[in-house]
Amino acid sequence: MAESNSTDFDLLWYLENLSDKEFQSFKKYLARKILDFKLPQVPLINLTKEQLANLLPISYEGQHIWNMLYSIFLMMRKEDLCRKIIGSKRTNQEACKALMRRKITLRWENHTFGEFHYKFFCNVASDVFYVLQLAYDSTSCYSANDLNVFLMGDRASGKTMTINLAVMKWINGEMWQNMISYVVHLTSHEINQMTDSSLAELIAKDWPDGQAPIADILSDPKKLLFILEDVDNLRFELNVNEHALCSNSTQKVPIPILLVSLLKRQMAPGCWFLISSRPTREENIKMFLKTTDCYVTLQFSNEKRELYFHSFFNDRQRASTALMLVHDNEILTGLCRVAILCWITCTVLNRQMDKGHDPQHCCETPTDLHAHFLADALTSKAGLTTNQYHLGLLRRLCLLAAGGLFLSTLNFSGEDLRCVGFTEVDFSVLQAVNILLPSSTHKDRYKFIHLNVQEFCAAIAFLMAVPNCLIPSGSRGYKEKREQYCNFNQVFTFIFGLLNENRRKILETTFGYQLPMVESFRRYSVEYMKHLGRDQQKLTHHGSLFYCLFENQEEEFVKKVVNTLKEVTLYLQSNKDMMVSLYCLEYCCHLRTFKLSVQRIFEYKEPLVRPTASQMKSLVYWREICSLFCTMDTLWELHLFDSDLNDISERILSKALEHSSCKLRTLKLSYISTASGFEDLLKALARNRSLIHLSLNCTSISLNMFSLLREILDKSTCQIRHLSLMKCDLRASECGEIASLLVNGGSLRKLTLTNNPLRNDGVNILCNALLHPNCTLTSLALVFCCLTEQCCSSLGRVLLLGRTLKQLDLCVNHLQNYGVLHVTFPLIFPTCQLEELYLSGCFFTNDICQYIAIVIATNETLRSLEIGSNSIEDAGMQLLCGGLRHPDCMLVNIGLEECMLTGACCESLASVLTTNKTLERLNILQNQLGDERVVKLLESLILPECVLQIIGLPLNDVSAETRRMVMTVKERKPNLIFLSETWSVKEGREIGVIPASQPGSVIPNSNLDYMFFKFPRMSTAMRMSSTASRQPL
């Protein structure tokens, strides 16, 4: 990077101000300084001043030259030259401040909220400024070497405003004096435009003609602050190999390497960083976060919100009325945690008060607020009085909003605005009323004041039936991360809000226009939910749907939508989630299964001396949710997973479970953290008389818990028949306790121990208990328990001598041929009572299939045998078919998935289908049978002699003709079920049991978009957006 041509940076000028004698001394000092700086040596003795002035810049980086120069002049007592260098530094520092002032002022002018917001942020952000001041003060105990300050906050939380104010305070001498000399400001949008760069080029990007005093800036990195905005929006990851890092400020490298080299202080060692980000990309943050760094989270707290309201209204009575409305409404409280949305809320409430309206009745939901905001804004401009113009403006605005979201465009060009029909006058109106504003990150582009406003306009577009529009910016191939829009849940929520007649009237009355798609979508949504009731997999959880219904709040409509729901899954992470869920659950009259995750709400563990208002609300909501377990007569199953409960919330749940009105028959708990270590819960279950199935999966079972379980099962009133302890890290040392449950558990009939490393020693202990006369267990699941053939003799003894065991699941254990022989041998004897045996994934081969075939042919009690994922192959299958064709075969189900079968065995299988009169279920998925052989099986299936009711056939790679034959079979035999699932997905065989969501993680997508995008109008828009995304640049 070229240096400034001024004499302040003219090395020769400085050297020529030395006498010959001084120049010789200078070269001696320089030789020593080169050693001190650990720089490569160059020959200096015979060089002239001009030669040295030419040699140094090509040998060393500028900052090293000027640091050595200043240090040597000090030692030589050349005070005049030292003053000259210091003066040039001050000039450069002032130039940097002037540069930053222009940049920040330009960003500031893009927002028209004016003096109010400036003063407000100065007041409420004072604590953040205090932290920033101390962080970069090297004499402060809060500071540290190579410090990074991370400024975290959600969308529109004030990160950019805080950075702007901090930089302006530095410029005005109110912050970082004598601490920071230079600020280098970088945004993610600027960085995303770059590919390769040197540090010198990066620093100079904002300077006129790229002529920055690089040497001066880098000469003292401890006074250099890099501001990196919106790191979550970077288009690349920052996981760069250490060996690729660079230390040369003039060397061009890929941008990720340059950034990581800076963050790791390979370049500009000792510099400071201020980094802002949303919490959505924390992996990039954690990569560089050190224990000595500073982590600041921006939140619009209750106190700040109260201050904002009083500052905005400047009227105590109005501010109190508005605050009370927001405080009593969890949805509005959440809305007002964002400064811009807080401004919209205050603006709307103030206008309604001006009109003499009661805000309590006209501003209950975000739909109300946004409808009033748009209606007031678009009709407030003097001289624009015709409804026709207002409606046209609204229509064009909604067209832009919807087109932008479908094509992942949040920053619009002038061409985009013209494309939807906006004129210069239109745009001036929209900018004046703070709906469309210049983008603070994209030059010459515009965006909605907040994404919520764009989403609300898109919701209107959905119900307005505006034509689809491919805005030009939508066809851009590359989209920044923040512009990639894929979660339409807020749009859907606004659509449901607008289905409410009173909310819709706000717009329809103002614009003299009725939204034409309302009734058709209302009917469609009710019919869709009826269909959904028969296919629960379509909706992965119901939180998004419930928010839509809460926004609507028309009782009869809500009833119709949720009336068909028999299963509900909810992730609760806030009071708002609980309030919304409660409202909708009250209308779920046929709810049978409730799956629930409670995260973040009850994180505080210490006893509460004086709970906050928010904590009290949480407990009230939780008590009302738990009361549903007693009041909903249809509710039989509760799955509580991935949840944190403190002492009070656990006791509230326990009280509900022990209540005499609790009708729950199944309780499944997995990945649960409780304050009492489950003691309160288990004591409550001891008094529950309806529970039949108890799961404590993915839980560390203590000795005290075993004792409580034994106490529960020993009670004469206990009805628990199935106990599941999957993935509880149970080992042989705990098998004595488990054995005690088997011997003393009077009602216990089924025990699931899947995914525990019990090993052979543990199972041997269990086998002794299974032979105890008091043991009444009929079903035992030991899937993936690290078993080998060494424990199979004990298991065989139980099958031979036991009188109660009917079902044994040993899938995914390394039993091999010898072990499987030991387990199947007892089935030859008539005394063996086993009805179901599962040996999938047990590593045996076709060498023992002849013995299994004998069992199939002779055992009169065995009804189900699953041996999938073993090396049966065609030779073994031939033997098994012989057993299946035997007239004494009583088998009803056989599973042979993934057994390395080919078409060679299909002739024998086809004959089984027509001769066996007991076999109702056959699964041969994930085998390579071939098209012709599948046809052979289909020909047998269609015959009346075939009694099969369920079949699993590998149909993925079959021809169109074969698929037509499948359809013919389905038409001829409509009751025949074609399977698509293998043995591994059955309940109790979840080998890789994981929580549905790690605490604090993003809640999985609800798939609610299926409902909207199947609506005829929306599906057309989706097809158009898909086409646009494929268009070349």
DSSP characters over 38-89: TPPP---TT--HHHHHHHHHHHS-HHHHHHHHHHHHHHTT-HHHHHHHHHHH
Report yes or no: 292 and 144 within 8 Å, Cβ to Cβ.
yes
> pTM of the predicted model, to two decimals?
0.84
Q: Which of 333, 369, 340, 336 is nearest to 577 (CA)?
A: 333
Residue 292 CA, chain-centre distance (Å), reads 28
pLDDT at residue 115, rounded to an integer: 60
Geometric angle at alpha carbon 358, from 356 and 359, rounded to 5°: 115
> Which tokens belong to 586?
């009250």
Residue 124 has pLDDT above 50, yes or no: yes
Please say if the pLDDT value at position 511 is more than 60: yes
Tell me: pLDDT of 110 over 60.
no
More confident residue, 283 or 756: 756
Handedness of CA 973, 974, 980, 984 (dihedral sign): negative
Domain 91-299 classification at class level? alpha beta
937-960 pLDDT, tens digit each: 999 999 999 999 999 999 988 999
pLDDT score recorded for residue 768: 96
| pLDDT tens digit sequence for 676-728 | 888 889 999 989 999 999 999 999 999 999 999 999 998 888 999 999 999 99
Q: How confident is the model at residue 112 (pLDDT cuts 50, 70, 90)?
A: low
Task: Tell whether the model's pLDDT for residue 183 goes beyond 80.
Answer: yes
Q: What is the mean pLDDT of the chain?
A: 88
What distance in Å separates the CA atoms of residue 936 and residue 406, rounded to the nearest whole number? 48
pLDDT in tens, 763-814: 999 999 999 999 999 999 999 999 999 999 999 999 999 999 999 999 999 9
What's the chain's Rg over C-alpha atoms? 37
pLDDT of 612 reads: 84
Any idea what the Cα angle at residue 326 is, between residues 325 and 331, rounded to 5°? Answer: 125
Only one residue has tokens 């030292």, namely 82
Q: What is the pLDDT of residue 875?
A: 97
Q: Quick count: other Cβ atoms within 10 Å of Cβ 976?
A: 15
pLDDT for the residue 36: 84
CATH number for 845-994: choose from 3.40.50.300, 3.80.10.10, 3.90.25.10, 3.20.20.70: 3.80.10.10
The predicted model gives 368-395 an average pLDDT of 82
Q: List the Cα angle 585/586/589 in 5-degree steps.
A: 85
- Contact indicator for 420, 471 with CB cutoff of 8 Å: yes
Please spell the DSSP secondary structure of 644-675, one letter per residue. E--HHHHHHHHHHHHSTT----EEEEEEEE-S
- Residue 977 clears pLDDT 90, i.e. is over it: yes
CATH number of this structure's domain 7-77, picked from the four choices 1.10.533, 2.60.120, 2.60.40, 2.30.30: 1.10.533
Q: What is the pLDDT confidence band of residue 921, given thresholds at 50, 70 and 90?
A: very high
Say how far apart CA 59 and CA 40 lie, in whole Å: 8
Q: How far, CA to CA in Å, does 181 sit from each of 93, 175, 177, 312, 768? A: 6, 11, 8, 37, 79
Tokens of 299: 């939140």
Is the distance from CB of 399 to CB of 466 less than 8 angstroms? yes
| 1-8 mean pLDDT | 35
Q: Does 1032 score more than 80 pLDDT?
A: no
DSSP state of 871: B
Please name the CATH architecture into which domain 540-677 falls.
Alpha-Beta Horseshoe (3.80)
Predicted confidence at residue 185, as pLDDT, reads: 94
pLDDT at 1022: 42
| Beta carbons within 8 Å of 106's beta carbon, 6+ residues apart | none
532-538 average pLDDT score: 61
How confident is the model over 1021-1031, as pLDDT tens digits?
A: 444 444 443 33
Q: What is the pLDDT of residue 219?
A: 86
Checking if the pLDDT of 506 tops 60, the result is yes
What percent of the chain stands above pLDDT 90?
A: 58
H or E segment to which residue 397 belongs = helix 387-406
Distance, CA of 859 to CA of 833 (rounded, Å): 10
Can you give the pLDDT at residue 281?
59
246-294: pLDDT as tens digits: 999 889 999 999 999 999 999 999 999 999 998 875 666 777 888 888 8
Alpha helices in 553-593 (DSSP H): 555-562, 575-585
Is the model's pLDDT at 978 over the cut of 70? yes
Question: What is the reported pLDDT for 2?
Answer: 35
* pLDDT above 50: residue 158: yes
What is the model's pLDDT at position 991? 59
Residue 895 has pLDDT above 60, yes or no: yes
Q: pLDDT tens-digit profile of 820-854?
A: 999 999 999 999 999 999 999 999 999 999 999 99
Q: How far, in Å, CA of 728 to CA of 1018, rounded?
A: 46
Task: List the single range of 100-114, 272-286, 293-307, 954-968 with lowest mean pLDDT.
Answer: 100-114
Q: What is the pLDDT of residue 534?
A: 58
- Hey, how many other C-beta atoms are within 10 angstroms of the C-beta on 761? 13
Return the pLDDT at 734: 96
Per-residue confidence (pLDDT) for residue 1001, from 0 to 100: 47
Q: What is the DSSP-derived secondary structure letter of residue 612?
A: -
Its sign, for the CA torsion 325, 331, 332, 334, is positive
Q: Does residue 992 carry a pLDDT above 80?
A: no
Q: What is the pLDDT of residues 437-462, one digit of tens each?
A: 888 778 888 999 999 999 999 999 99
Contact criterion met (CB below 8 Å) for 469 and 399: yes
pLDDT of amino acid 990: 65
Instruction: Determine the pLDDT at residue 752.
Output: 97
**Comparing 593 with 535, which gets the higher pLDDT?**
593
Place of tokens 């169109």: 960
Q: How far apart are CA 338 and CA 278, in angstroms?
A: 13
